Amino acid sequence: MLPRAIAVGIDTVLDRTVAPGYTRIGPAIRRHLSTWPADPEPDAMKGTVVAVTGATSGLGLATAEGLARLGAEVVLVVRDTDKGARVVREIQGRLPLAELHLARCDVGDLDDVRRFADELDAEHLDVLVHNAGAMPPERTESAQGHELTMALHVLGPVLMTELLRPRLGDARVVMVTSGGMYGQRLRADDPGYLQGDYSPTTAYARSKRAQVELLPVLDQRWGGSGISVHVTHPGWADTPGVVDSLPTFHRVTGPLLRDAEGGADTTVWLAATQPVPTGGMLWHDRRPRPFHLLRRTRTGEDERAQLWDWVRAQLDLPQGP
């Protein structure tokens, strides 16, 4: 085993050079370094209840199955309950003893998030994973008139967590972001993407940047209730979303992409590992990562506060915790 200082150096080089660290090469190397944490115990989630949004395919499905494999009772939060029922049967075919439930919610529709929170048949949740995502090919608005990626990746998850706080207790909240956010700065001045020509990849990355920039605010807001908040990015994974939204990228990088299980590994690990990891950090391959890699994307406190003021206004949230 290499000395820890050398292992840290190798891991950092993989991360900063992006492609080697984000593809399947990253975990293939990192798993052999002394910096790689131990896997959770086989029954680490026994007796816990978790909810995973966007759980019918890709990373969400892999996360739900990974947590069920560790013994959790899993609520799959989906838009399409027919598809969700098929996924439940698929998982139970592999894990006959898995305890799985379906709940319908369109996370981008704030009214539906409110209905979901009212109707959720769970007295408590130990883990809430915000995984639902989309990259519409043209500017699209949610039912409330918000640009869809911001509604789905920021407004919906914040509102859902706020409404479920009484049932979360000492829970872990995990938001799944994207490494693409490293190329974008925060646009608190234009959260609806009303300025300039619309780009699907830029809109997606901006909303993911917003997730990361709000992490300190949300960890402070919810941490007083005992909730720890984490953000993780999966690297480059071979998922239906990548195939549909980024066909050229998928065609070029396909042989090196992680499978969905590899992309979901850190999300599952964050949900299950003990002791509870420190909240307010961005994770990739089981290690904290920097919020910024480029000087031009760095965010000031005023910009972060401006974005949070906008989020609070859209959700009608109180100022305090």
Q: Domains of the chain: which residue ranges? A: 1-36, 43-315
Nearest to 271 by CA among 57, 29, 52: 52
Grouping H, G, I as helix, E, B as strand and the rest as coil, residue 260 is helix
pLDDT per residue rounded down to tens, the chain (321 residues)? 688 999 999 999 999 999 999 999 999 999 999 999 999 999 999 999 999 999 999 999 999 999 999 999 999 999 999 999 999 999 999 999 999 999 999 999 999 999 999 999 989 999 999 999 999 999 999 999 999 999 999 999 999 999 999 999 899 999 999 999 999 999 999 999 999 999 999 999 999 999 999 999 999 999 988 999 999 999 999 888 777 777 887 787 888 899 999 999 999 999 999 999 999 999 999 999 999 999 999 999 999 999 999 999 999 998 876
Predicted model pTM: 0.96
**How far is the C-alpha of 96 from the C-alpha of 141, rounded, in Å?**
40
Phi, psi of 76 (to 5 degrees): -90, 115
Instruction: Kindly state the tokens that stand for 186.
Output: 């925060």
Residue 47: count of CB within 10 angstroms of its CB: 9
204 is catalytic: yes
Nearest to 107 by CA among 55, 61, 62: 55
Q: What is the CATH number of domain 43-315?
A: 3.40.50.720
Amino acid code (one letter) for 168: L
Name every residue whose Cβ is closer than 8 Å to that of residue 293 and which is 6 or more positions away in sequence.
Answer: 16, 182
Spot the catalytic one: 22, 182, 193, 204.
204
